[in-house]
Structure 1
């Protein structure tokens, strides 16, 4: 507990594990070392087969970092990458999480094995971040995208059934993942399986979080008051399930866009690639700022967006009227002091664990994007004092 009488504010660092020219894990390694040096508690990598942002505007014309990352869709597999991190870096031995995988394109039995393996190899440091996933990471690969929440519920139940089987044969009926004399013999590390952090936003998934999760872990946040309302739903569901509502840790995956000055950051946010991130926000978020989502007022944002199908002129047309205020509602932006002040507001609305991802490279200037690593490091260090 801190001086405010609240649970200590935890800090993790996330990286989008995209292949870097000449050194595949260069960005991942640099982020891990920064996280360890600045006092973070955990390190996370995303799980995607392709980018959530349009490849058509990820060229060097719009993004300076494209000189280092030639293809924004070239994602490294997360569990393999975390194994690399665990084997290569011994500094402080941070907890390691996938933020997040889904229950569609990866069979949950394989996910159960991957998480349990990392947990054993790292002596109890693995965290399984999990959610429904997105259309772009499922449908193009032959995975049925109908009923993603039901699939999630069945996938999570499958993971728990295997973990709790004590090596005995498992039989379980399921419309998606039936088990027939299945065997799962990996043991937990010292009696404990990896924590499960659920990414959720809509009411049914929030209730699932309260019933089953060790932490609530939403991404692409909107307003602090929305976070507080969602946390109330999670805690009510936990209570209804006979759990201690305080046992579900209030966490979040949060993008940070920083730089040496407010003007520098605002200039970068006005560039086309940064503005394309707004396509991942739902229609009601756009409407609050007096604009209409290009995919309609009821657009769900990243859950159903297919960014790989959007050509350059389409993206530029879709994002030309994006107000910077819309981006600032879902990304913490500004100098280190400004970002920490913004995070304090989220803390005051219930957030107790922030996993921050440096989005500052999403700008035309490679030099400014690289220089932003210094203020981002300061943010990590200062957040630990909240």
Structure 2
């Protein structure tokens, strides 16, 4: 039986900052999820120019797509206010560049103590939109990530002793980290990685590999093998690394409703977050360049409505189907089973079904999403 996590965006409603996130959390409890995850963004990866009710019905409920709540604070709030369930709580994922790694180490260790060992530190290089506009250098994100991981491990392993460590990004000079691990264990580190150098870093530092699903199951298996080879090269047990993935998921009450949602302007806009290599698989070029990496490179807040409509006018349905889990609950379970057969053991699902003009259909998709979630747990 695979383990399954539920991911959400911490977006406030106009009159209730926590209503949407709390609803997602309670859905995770009701479906007996093994973990609950929040993304970590200062602003949205979706263009604010397109977050309008005519494109996204749910914009009536959450009108400010760039108003992201701070996720570590929210997870602490959920842990304190909700005694239902014993899910693990994770950040999926935080940013190794925008946040100083000492602060990230402190936040994760704090949540781990507060939840009695249920915190997971999901981490990656981050995205350009969360760094460059805020004055953080984006020229060497992978090198910065590697140094951040080494810093976090150095602080966690210091046993409260003074730490001095040279680094081009995060030098430590008589630094102190005196929090303690919960029952001798620090939070697990789940790394979001895709390219060769990041896969090698995952093998060195991670407890689990946690990419977004932007490639095929067969390619997932190949990259998982690369991660485990890197772990072995680093003197670690390669079988100890978990095999996770983040799936964006679109479902509905019928196949017609699902296809209509996939072909909506909202979903075509979301496709800008897919890398150019995924577009090429469907014989189309990414409008932002053949080397565009998608969500890692996009700065959505500067994209106006007219430009987005032009960029997304020819997005094929096949690309949209390939960019996410999609279909009826039974179809989604079958798709996850194929990934499981290629090494996946821990899918994490984010319900993207609200990215369509119909608010009613978007909300109604919650029931088939829950059915698919329960079906995956039985795999």
Aligned to 1:236: 229
* Deviation, structure 1 residue 221: 2.4
User: For 1:238-277, what aligned pairs fall within 5 Å after superposition?
Assistant: 238-277=231-270
User: For 1:117-136, what aligned pairs fall within 5 Å after superposition?
Assistant: 117-136=110-129
Aligned to 2:205: 212
Choose which of 339, 342, 348 in structure 1 pairs with 2:332.
Answer: 339
CA distance, structure 2, for counterparts of residue 89 and residue 15 of structure 1: 17
CA distance, structure 1, for counterparts of residue 94 and residue 240 of structure 2: 22
Per mean C-alpha deviation after superposition, the further-off stretch among 19-28 and 187-196 is 19-28
Aligned residues: 379
CA distance, structure 1, for counterparts of residue 181 and residue 134 of structure 2: 32
* Deviation, structure 1 residue 76: 0.5
CA distance, structure 1, for counterparts of residue 167 and residue 139 of structure 2: 16
User: For 1:76-225, what aligned pairs fall within 5 Å after superposition?
Assistant: 76-225=69-218
CA distance, structure 2, for counterparts of residue 137 and residue 364 of structure 1: 27
1:232-268 deviation digits (Å, cap 9, x = unpaired): 1101111111111111100001111010011101101
Matched, 1:69 2:53: no
Aligned to 1:313: 306
* Deviation, structure 1 residue 34: 1.1
Matched, 1:297 2:290: yes
Matched, 1:385 2:378: yes
TM-score (structure 1 length as normaliser): 0.97
Matched, 1:280 2:280: no
8 Å CA contact 2:4, 2:376 repeated in 1 = yes
User: For 1:20-59, what aligned pairs fall within 5 Å after superposition?
Assistant: 20-59=13-52
Per mean C-alpha deviation after superposition, the further-off stretch among 275-284 and 200-209 is 275-284
CA distance, structure 1, for counterparts of residue 225 and residue 358 of structure 2: 41
8 Å CA contact 2:214, 2:278 repeated in 1 = no
1:203-253 deviation digits (Å, cap 9, x = unpaired): 000011111100000014221111111111101111111111111100001
TM-score (structure 2 length as normaliser): 0.99
1:334-381 deviation digits (Å, cap 9, x = unpaired): 111111111111111111001100000100000001111111111121
Gaps of 5+ in 2: none
CA distance, structure 2, for counterparts of residue 342 and residue 284 of structure 1: 21
1:71-93 deviation digits (Å, cap 9, x = unpaired): 11100001001011101111112
CA distance, structure 2, for counterparts of residue 203 and residue 78 of structure 1: 29
- Local SS of the residue matching 2:337: helix
Per mean C-alpha deviation after superposition, the further-off stretch among 35-44 and 197-206 is 35-44
CA distance, structure 2, for counterparts of residue 93 and residue 99 of structure 1: 18
CA distance, structure 2, for counterparts of residue 19 and residue 350 of structure 1: 36
- Local SS of the residue matching 2:90: strand
8 Å CA contact 1:39, 1:380 repeated in 2 = no
Choose which of 292, 313, 324 in structure 1 pairs with 2:317.
Answer: 324
8 Å CA contact 1:86, 1:93 repeated in 2 = no
Per mean C-alpha deviation after superposition, the further-off stretch among 223-232 and 43-52 is 223-232
CA distance, structure 2, for counterparts of residue 222 and residue 231 of structure 1: 12
1:167-213 deviation digits (Å, cap 9, x = unpaired): 11110101111111111110000000000000000000001111110
CA distance, structure 2, for counterparts of residue 356 and residue 20 of structure 1: 22
CA distance, structure 1, for counterparts of residue 51 and residue 317 of structure 2: 19
Aligned to 1:4: none
Structure 1 ranges of 4+ moved more than 3 A = none
CA distance, structure 2, for counterparts of residue 212 and residue 169 of structure 1: 22
- Local SS of the residue matching 2:4: strand
CA distance, structure 2, for counterparts of residue 255 and residue 284 of structure 1: 18
CA distance, structure 2, for counterparts of residue 195 and residue 135 of structure 1: 25
